[in-house]
Structure 1
Amino acid sequence: MKTLRLKAGKERSLLRRHPWVFDSAIAKGGGDAGETVRVESADGQFLAWAAFSPNSRIKARIWSFDEEQRIDADFIEQRIAQAVAARVWFDIQSDGVRLVHGEADGLPGLIVDRYGDTLVAQFTSCGSEKFKKAIADALLQVTGLTRLYERSDASVRQLEGLPEVTGWLRGEGATELTIREHDWRLTLDVATGHKTGFYLDQRDSRQRFFEHTRHRRFGKVLNCYCYTGGVTVAALAGGAGHVTSIDSSGPALDRALAHVRLNGFDESRATFLDADVNASLRQCIERGEMFDAIVLDPPKFAPTAAHAERAARAYKDINRLAFKLLAPGGELFTYSCSGGISADLFHKIVASAGTDAGVDGFISERLQGAPDHPMTIAFPEGEYLKGLVVVRR
């Protein structure tokens, strides 16, 4: 068994059960890609078992802090069983659910979503890649399903020195699926959709927007970066008078329109624009338009903290424009899915955007990912999705 010896004082984060070891913390040692290594303090004290990643700044991702633990196929199956069992704690109200959420479930670099009778897995680290066969076997054993699609095409694999891989790992068949979410039906394609096919992390936010719309009776709603129209469906279900949805993907907008039809809503209450969001917001301002509710759910502007400054300007700009379009008493649902933007920084960005727009408001809610996307107390970096509901005064 190979060993990683840390520099003096660098063991503190592992003693707090943080699951990462950065290259700057290592005094000596290493291993092959995905190999399980013993992590020790400078004085030789056992700290953890970890998967080694030669090409990443995160050199080791922790499997276990128990010295007696064997890291093998049985360990993998046990962790997957625990993760799947934990999801029964939550009232998810959907047959689209995240079953494994990486470090939060003790399986670093592994994402697994279930869409009805189909599993989709994403392997984003050398450790999860090394155990791919054991993970696939365990997933089918624990869930009783037979179809498992791989979507290992996330850009983070490049940092691990891993190529993109997609396709069926187990089973075969159609990749176009329909799921139930609350009282709605939504479709996705696990082969071509964003992430593993869909944004399950925003499930509860879509429900909250439906509840706000039903209570407030929004007349005009603007849904920016709408993707396949989950929020559009929620707004129409809540009784919104008209929803304008903007995205720069024609295929996503086609699916969004199909969702309006699939759920039986009047198409005349929905407009879809294949356009740049920033340019569209400016055009709306020039036309003097106002909206009762605006949703901003942009893509990841800052994947790491190193990108935070540039991303902050982008977030501020779109929020400033949105505030100018928000009617008095209206609500802005604004989000950041960037891991490099903390909740505190995002709050400051939105506040600054309001000031520049000459708009005052109060935060009525803070939103986060759905509960099947957990964040642990030892791993605050897991809080990538942040949302604020701001009511304009």
Structure 2
Amino acid sequence: MAKAILHEGKQKRILGGHPWIYRTEIKEIRGEFQPGDIVEVYDIRERLIGRGYINPASQISIRIMTRNAEEEINEDFFRRRIQAAWDYRQRVVRESNACRVIFGEADFLPGLIVDKFGDYLAVQTLTLGIEKHKETILKLLQEILKPGGMYERNDVAVRELEGLPLQTGFIGASFDPKVVIKENGLRFVVDLAGGQKTGYFLDQRENRMALQGLVHGGRVLDCFCHTGTFSMYAAKFGAREVLGLDIAAPALEVARANAELNGYGKNCSFKETNSFDELRAMEKAGEKFEVVVLDPPAFTKSKKAVAGAVRGYKEINLRGMKLLPPGGYLVTCSCSYHMKEEMFLEVIAEAGRDAGRQLRLVELRRQAKDHPMLLASPETHYLKCVVLQVW
């Protein structure tokens, strides 16, 4: 097995539990290897740190799989890790037959994402090191979870950075990729083949419950509504009228189907529009809502784009606040890892000052429990959900 030796002083973050080793942190590699192979990682004094897979083509050259010197990366290793991940989900996921089964680094399986939707699995192998073990992983998923079918969603741009092709399709026998899941007494259509990410945003499951008690009898605006999940919860919790906005027509078709499926077709409506433009137009028209939900896509996926993201988040939050009467509620989210929680709160506070409104923090929430955060790896904490009362 080849040995990667780190530069002096570069081991601290890794010893603390972070699984990524960047190309610039490696002093030398001794021995022969192929991209995707398992290598041993040592500090400058040649003390073993752990074992992980290597890909020199990636900026993240090594991802640590184990820190146990006696643990081999083989089928039994993957069986233990997948079983542990599934055992954890069975403990923490409530009132739903859909969840994230494996969340990459947070489940000590970097580069692997597996989502369960009813009887079916959506699978992403995002790195070369995981791709090399794909057949073993798929075999074990079949053995442990016994799904009715599996669908590959390897259409993610990060694979190209690993030198991997983009590809999607059925793994084994085909099935209807549009499935209906159950979540907190509601039902949702999930398109495993064509939906965003792996078909559905599981990470907001618990945050949607924050609408309970806030929306009853009120008018609710759901911006960037996608397939209408927050809209359905608003209707479930007694909103008299819900309007969802999104720019994607296919997502809105599913949103309307979800409204009919749950019996909320009469008080939920959806409009195909740019949410930024619509918020400005509604403010000019004097529209008011008791609750405004802002759940936009990530405005930044790199440090370089943070300044632009700050402007975008400030704009939508300011506009959302202006649509609320005194005492109304704003539920605002960011799924951008580079938009840190403290920065996001400051952006919201600035929007409040510019809008001339006072803000009371009701709740500060994060991603659902099936998306656990590895404290040593801040990249696993990406979702922020802030519930505010606006005066």
What residue in structure 1 maps to residue 14 of structure 2? 14
Report whether the alignment pairs 1:236 with 2:235. Answer: yes
Is structure 2 residue 341 aligned with structure 1 residue 343? yes
Q: Which runs of 5+ in 2 are unaligned?
A: none
SS in structure 1 of the partner of residue 313 of structure 2: helix
CA contact (8 A) 1:316 1:349 kept: yes
* Pairwise CA distance, 1:312: 1.3
Structure 2 counterpart of 1:385: 383
User: Structure 2 matches for 1:187-266, cutoff 5 A?
Assistant: 187-209=189-211, 211-213=212-214, 216-265=215-264
**Alpha-carbon offset, residue 350 of structure 1:** 0.9
The separation in 2 between residues aligned to 1:34 and 1:241, in whole angstroms, is 55
2:89 counterpart residue number: 87
Deviations 1:218-250 (A, max 9, x none): 421100000010111111111101111000011
- Contact 1:221/1:242, CA 8 A, preserved across alignment: yes
**Match for 1:3: what amino acid?**
K
Q: 1:305 aligns with which of 280, 288, 303?
A: 303
* Corresponding residue number in structure 1 for 2:152: 150
My pick for the range that moved more, 136-145 or 24-33, is 24-33
Of the three residues 370, 373, 377, the one matched with 1:372 is 370
Query: What is the percent sequence identity of the aligned residues?
Result: 37
Within-5 A mapping of 1:132-171: 132-171=134-173
Match of 2:129 among 127, 130, 135: 127
Deviation at 1:93, TM superposition (A): 1.1
Cα distance in 1, alignment partners of residues 280 and 177 from structure 2: 38
- For residues 256-295 of structure 1, what are the alpha-carbon distances to aligned partners after superposition, in whole Å with 9 as ceiling and x for unaligned? 1111111112x33222110000000000011011111000
For residue 221 of structure 2, what is the amino acid of its counterpart?
L
Contact 1:150-1:166 within 8 A present in 2 as well: yes
2:221–2:244 CA contact under 8 A, matched in 1: yes
For the residues of structure 2 that align with 1:243 and 1:54, how far apart are their CA atoms?
50
In structure 2, which of residues 89, 95, 98 is the aligned counterpart of residue 96 of structure 1? 98
Query: Residues of 1 paired with 2:58 and 2:285: CA distance?
Result: 49
In structure 1, what is the equivalent of residue 312 of structure 2?
314
Q: Deviations over 1:44-66 (max 9, x none)?
A: 11111011122221111110011
User: Which position in structure 2 is the counterpart of 1:110?
Assistant: 112
Residue 140 of structure 1 deviates from its aligned partner by: 0.6
Segments of 4+ moved more than 6 angstroms: none
Separation (CA, whole Å) in 2 of partners of 1:337 and 1:73: 34
Provide the aligned length of Structure 1 versus Structure 2.
389
Sort the Cα spacing of 1:28 and 1:102 in 2 relative to 1 into closer, same or farther, 3 A: same
AA at the equivalent of 1:153 = D
Letter aligned with residue 27 of structure 1: K
2:142 aligned partner, one-letter code:
L
Please state if 1:352 is matched with 2:331.
no
Contact persistence 1:222–1:294 (CA under 8 A): yes
Say which SS state the counterpart of residue 13 (structure 1) adopts: helix
- SS class of match (2:52): strand
User: Paired residue for 1:69?
Assistant: 71
Alignment RMSD? 1.3
Alpha-carbon contact 1:306-1:340 (below 8 Å) kept: no
Moved more, 26-35 or 274-283: 26-35
Shift, 1:144, TM fit: 2.0
Cα–Cα, structure 1 residues 33 and 327, in superposed 2: closer, same or farther, change >3 Å? Answer: farther
1:324-380: CA deviation from partner (whole Å, max 9, x where unpaired) = 112111111000001111111111111111111111111110111110110022222
Matched position secondary structure for 1:387: strand
Give the SS at the match of 1:328: coil
How far did 1:146 drift?
4.3
* Match of residue 62 from structure 2: 60
Q: Could you report, residue by residue, the CA deviation over 1:285-322 in whole angstroms, capped at 9, with x for unpaired residues? A: 11011111000000011123332222111111111111
8 A Cα contact 2:364 2:387, kept in partner:
yes
Any unmatched runs of 5+ in structure 1?
none
Classify the secondary structure of the residue corresponding to 1:32. Answer: coil
For residues 84-140 of structure 1, the C-alpha deviation after alignment (integer angstroms, 9 at most, x for no partner) is 011122142110111101011110011101111111111111221111111101111
User: Which letter maps to 2:244?
Assistant: S
Residues of 2 paired with 1:186 and 1:305: CA distance?
34
- Between 279-288 and 357-366, report the one with greater CA deviation: 357-366
Distance 1:301 1:15, change over 3 A: same
Write the mapping of 1:42-61 to structure 2, written as runs, cut at 5 A: 42-61=44-63
2:34 maps to 32
Q: Is the 8 A contact 2:220 2:239 kept in 1?
A: yes
Maintained 8 Å contact 1:296/1:333 = yes
For residue 9 of structure 1, report the CA deviation from its aligned partner.
Answer: 0.6
Of the structure 1 ranges 364-373 and 85-94, higher mean CA displacement relative to structure 2 is found in: 85-94
**Map of 1:284-303 to 2, 5 A cutoff?**
284-303=282-301
| 2:322–2:355 CA contact under 8 A, matched in 1 | yes
Q: Distance in 2 between matches of 1:304 and 1:361?
A: 29
- Give the whole-Å Cα distance in 2 for the aligned partners of 1:243 and 1:206: 14
